[in-house]
Structure 1
């Protein structure tokens, strides 16, 4: 039962995102392939990784990562920014063009969160928050994204 509920919620978030993506495709506002979209999303959640960090995270070679990054730079979704600490190193930053995509999924998450806050008591919201953070911190260890580490900060 829990597995079905999690699958349903996860699927609905994905499908809503895909619906919004196809609207943009019909309006010719997008030029990203699905793989490129996945890559730029990973770059975003890793918070400005180097090419090497990105390649290691997704398990591909540095040359393969460099090719994918070059395509994303050409399309205007990411940029390379020279490190101020080590001038030999470059970090990948998403651009405003990507952030418009991000709003497709994060906007819906915000809508669902607002609806939950209207529907549920403060106590239930707090319980849901605790459960979701525990899931992220303790049950999903295979996906180590520093941005989402909550338990270490508390």
Structure 2
């Protein structure tokens, strides 16, 4: 039962995001491919990675990563910022254009979290937060990323 309940919640978050993306495609506002969306979410989660860090995390070659990154730079979703310590190295930063795109998903998360706070007691919300934090920190060791921030 728990497996199915978690799967249902995860699927609903994904499907809501897809609904909003398709609505924007209809209005010609969205310009990221599916793979580019995955790349952008990864770059944001890694918190200013280098191209090599991105390539390593995604398990793709650095030239393949550079090709994908250059496409995202051209579209205005990320910028490459030269490292002051090592001038040969560039860090990837998401732009406001991407943050606006990403907020499609995070706005719904915020809405659902507000509903949770109104529906459940503070004690239940605290327990849910504790459980989700443990799942993220301890039970998902395959995905090592910096501590994520909430919606922008």
Same fold, TM-score > 0.5, yes or no: yes
Matches within 5 A, 1:1-154: 1-148=1-148
- Identify unmatched segments of 5+ residues in structure 1: 150-154
* In structure 1, distance between residues paired with 2:148 and 2:20: 25
* In structure 2, distance between residues paired with 1:147 and 1:45: 8
Root-mean-square deviation (CA), in Å?
1.1
Matched residues, number? 149
Moved segments of 4+, more than 3 Å: none
* In structure 2, distance between residues paired with 1:87 and 1:47: 19
What displacement does 1:146 show?
Answer: 1.0
* In structure 2, distance between residues paired with 1:138 and 1:25: 38
TM-score, structure 2 length as denominator? 0.96
TM-score, structure 1 length as denominator? 0.94
* In structure 2, distance between residues paired with 1:35 and 1:12: 20
- Identify unmatched segments of 5+ residues in structure 2: none
* In structure 2, distance between residues paired with 1:130 and 1:148: 15
